[in-house]
Amino acid sequence: MKLSEFELIEKVKGLFGKKEGRVELSVGDDAAVLRCGELYQMLTCDALTEGSHYLKRWKERVEGFYRKLGKKLINVNASDVASMGGEPKFSLITACFTKESSEEEAQEFFRGVKEAAEELGVSVVGGDTVKGKGELFDCFMVGESSEGYMVRSSARPGELVGITGTVGDARGGLEILLKGMEVNDYLVNRFLCPTARVREGREAVKLGVKCATDISDGLVFNLHTIAQSSKVAVEVESEKIPLSKELIEVFGKERALHFALYGGEDYELIITFPESLKGKIERIGFKVIGRVREGEGIFVDGKPISPKGFDHFKED
Amino acid sequence: MKLSEFELIEKVKGLFGKKEGRVELSVGDDAAVLRCGELYQMLTCDALTEGSHYLKRWKERVEGFYRKLGKKLINVNASDVASMGGEPKFSLITACFTKESSEEEAQEFFRGVKEAAEELGVSVVGGDTVKGKGELFDCFMVGESSEGYMVRSSARPGELVGITGTVGDARGGLEILLKGMEVNDYLVNRFLCPTARVREGREAVKLGVKCATDISDGLVFNLHTIAQSSKVAVEVESEKIPLSKELIEVFGKERALHFALYGGEDYELIITFPESLKGKIERIGFKVIGRVREGEGIFVDGKPISPKGFDHFKED
C-alpha cells in the first residue's frame, strides 16, 4: 500500500463522524471525547507493531525488552489522554503473538503493562490474545476529566507555546538501536519507556488551558497539527527547545536539534496558553519555546519549515 | 509459543484485577463492566488476524471479502456487549496493514465497518492505522445499559437454557472456505458476517435474566464457561439444538450436529433463566435446549462431554 498513514486517515475520516449527541469530539484529535453525566471520557487506541515500532532483534541488546514494550504501550496511550487533559483510568490490551514469540516474552510484556498501569493508576480490565503473522500490541485507554478537556484546534494568536521535558531523545534512542551504536541507557529508555505527562496535562486543564497535543510524530509535525486545525501560525525559537545533555553528548548539538524537530515518539506535551498564565504554567513544568500568531505554518527562528513527521507507512 | 490462548489468559489474569471502585467486573467475562453514574458501561475488544481468523486467499472466492471482515469485526465486538445485555454505542478501530495490503482492501474494510456500525447504531469515534508483518483488525467497543447486566457466573440449578438462531453454520462456512468446497452463500456469510444479537440480549436483561454468554468458541465450550463459573452442571438435548437446513443439506445431520457442538464463531446468545419466564423468553426468539442442574460439567443427551472449543493458538 502506497498511502501514508495520514492520507489513509484522511480518506476514511469522512466515513465516520459524530452521530451520537454525547460524542463531543470524534476522529481527528489525540482521543475521542464523550459526555458521561458530569464526566468527560476520553477514548483512544494506539498499537505497537514489530517492524514498524520495534525490531525483534533489539531484545538481544536491551534487557527486559518486552517488559519495556508493555510499559511503552500503556504510556503511549496514557499520553493521548494526558494531552486532552484527562486522567487515564481503564484499559484493554490486545496482544498478537507469532509462532516465534516465546512464553517468556509474552509474560514479560504483560509484566510491563502491569507495572506501567500501576504507576499511572490505570485498571487493566480486559483484552484479547490472538496469533498472527507479526507481533502487534494494541491498547485501548479510557481517560476521564471533570474539568473539561484540551484540543488541538483552539490555539489563539498571541498565546505562548509551552512544552514539557526534553525533545529528540526518543529519536536518539531509536538511532542507537537502528544503527547498532553503543547503547546509551538514558536515550534508549526515552525511546522504549516514555512517560506520559499526566500530571502536567491535568494541571494545565485545571488552569483553563484549552489547546494541547503530544509529540508522537515530531515537534514540527505536531505543532503543524495545532497550527492547521487552529488556523494560526506557530513561531518557535530553536535555542529555547529543551535538549538533554545526553542527546547533545552522543549526537552533537546540530543533530540533536534535528532529532528534536523531526523525531517522533517523545510523548512530551505541547500546549498553547495566554501570557497571563506564564508563571503558573512554568511552575507545572512547561518551558516556553515560542508563540502563536495570525497566519499559517510553522516558523523556526523566523524561517518557514515544512511538516515532516514520523509516518509508519513511509518507512520502507 | 505452545501455550493456548486460554492458558495464557489464565496466566496473565492474575496480573490484573478490579482496583477501581467503579469496576464492577474485570477480566474473565465477555466484557468488563464499569459504573458511570446511572449507567453500566461494557468495555470489550476482539481482534481478527490473517492466518488465525481468515486467509487472504479467500478474497478470490468471496465477493466484498474485506467489506465482510469489517462487518464481522464490528459484530463480533457488539456480540460481547449483547451477551452482557448492553447496547453497543461507541467504537475505535485499529487496522494493521502489510506491504501486500491494497488501498482497495483497506477502503473496503472501512466501508464494512461503517455499514455494520450504522446498522447497530454504533458511533466509530477513533482508531489507529499501522503497518505490520501480518494484517490485523482490532476493535474496541463500549456498550451501555441502565438495566443491569448479565454474566456467565450466575446460572442457577433448575433454570432453563435458551439459545438464539441456529448453531454450527459458521463452522460450516469455515469448512467450505478451508476445504475449497463449492461456496454456499448462506453458510459462508454466517461465518463472515455474523449478526450480533443485540435486541435479544437487551430484551433478556430487561426481563431480569442474569446469566448469558455468546457462542464465540463453540456451544459446548461456551456452556462450559457458564457451568464452570456458576459451579453448576448443564444438560442439553441434542435434538433441540437448532440447526439450519442449509447446514444439514451440505454436511449431513451428524456433521451438522458436530459443528453445532464444537464449532465456534456463531455469535448466537446462550442464556439461562427461571422456568417462569419461558413464554416471554421464547417470544424474544430464544429456543430452549436444556437445563441447569446441581453438579459440574456439560451433558449432551445425558452423556458427559468434554469442552473442546476453538483456540487460536492450537490451530497449527
B9, part of any domain: no
Q: CA B65 to CA B56: how far, in whole Å?
A: 9
Could A43 and B90 be called an inter-chain contact, meaning their C-beta atoms sit closer than 8 Å?
Answer: yes
Could you tell me the residue range of the domain that residue B131 belongs to? 19-145
Distance from A49 to chain B by nearest Cα, in Å? 6
In a shared domain, residues B189 and B306 = yes
Assembly ipTM: 0.88
Helices A219-230 and A245-262: crossing angle in degrees, nearest 10, is 40
Residues of chain A neighbouring B133 (CB-CB closer than 8 A):
49-51, 98, 133-135
Q: Which of B94, B99, B312 sits opposite A138 (nearest CB)?
A: B94
Domain count, chain A: 2
pLDDT, one tens digit for every residue, chain A (316 residues): 655 555 666 666 656 655 667 888 887 778 889 988 889 999 999 999 999 899 999 999 999 999 999 999 999 999 999 999 999 999 999 999 999 999 999 999 999 999 999 999 999 998 889 999 999 999 999 999 999 999 999 999 999 999 999 999 999 999 999 999 999 999 999 999 999 999 999 999 999 999 999 999 999 999 999 999 999 999 999 999 999 999 999 999 999 999 999 999 999 999 999 999 999 999 999 999 999 999 999 999 999 998 764 444 444 3
For residue B23, the Cα-to-chain-centroid distance in whole angstroms is: 23
Q: CA A96 to CA B218: how far, in whole Å?
A: 22
| Whether the Cβ atoms of residue B259 and residue B171 lie closer than 8 Å to each other | yes
Cell of A290: 515560542
Residues of chain B neighbouring A107 (CB-CB closer than 8 A):
11-12
A261 Cβ neighbours under 8 A, 6+ residues apart: A168, A218, A219, A220, A238, A241, A300, A305
| Closest C-alpha to B292, from B216, B219, B211, B190 | B211
Residues written for chain B: 316
Q: CA B237 to CA B38: how far, in whole Å?
A: 40
Could B27 and A110 be called an inter-chain contact, meaning their C-beta atoms sit closer than 8 Å?
Answer: no
| Cell 448443564 found at | B234
Could B36 and A32 be called an inter-chain contact, meaning their C-beta atoms sit closer than 8 Å?
Answer: no
Could B111 and A31 be called an inter-chain contact, meaning their C-beta atoms sit closer than 8 Å?
Answer: no
Radius of gyration of chain B (CA): 19
Could B15 and A132 be called an inter-chain contact, meaning their C-beta atoms sit closer than 8 Å?
Answer: no
The secondary structure of residue A27, as a DSSP letter, is B
CATH number of the domain within which A136 lies? 3.30.1330.10
The secondary structure of residue A312, as a DSSP letter, is G
Question: In which band, very low, low, confident or very high, does the pLDDT at B21 lie, cut at 50, 70 and 90?
Answer: confident
In a shared domain, residues A118 and A162 = no
CA distances (Å), B198 to each of A310, B90, B121, B143, B213, in order? 40, 14, 11, 10, 12
CA distances (Å), A88 to each of A71, A76, A208, B8, in order? 14, 11, 19, 26
In a shared domain, residues B133 and B183 = no
SS3 assignment for A296-310:
CEEEECCEEECCCCC
Q: End of a domain among A111, A145, A179?
A: A145
Look up the pTM and report it.
Answer: 0.91
Helices A65-82 and A198-206: crossing angle in degrees, nearest 10, is 10
In a shared domain, residues A161 and A310 = yes
In a shared domain, residues B208 and B295 = yes
In a shared domain, residues B72 and B91 = yes
| Whether the Cβ atoms of residue A42 and residue A84 lie closer than 8 Å to each other | yes
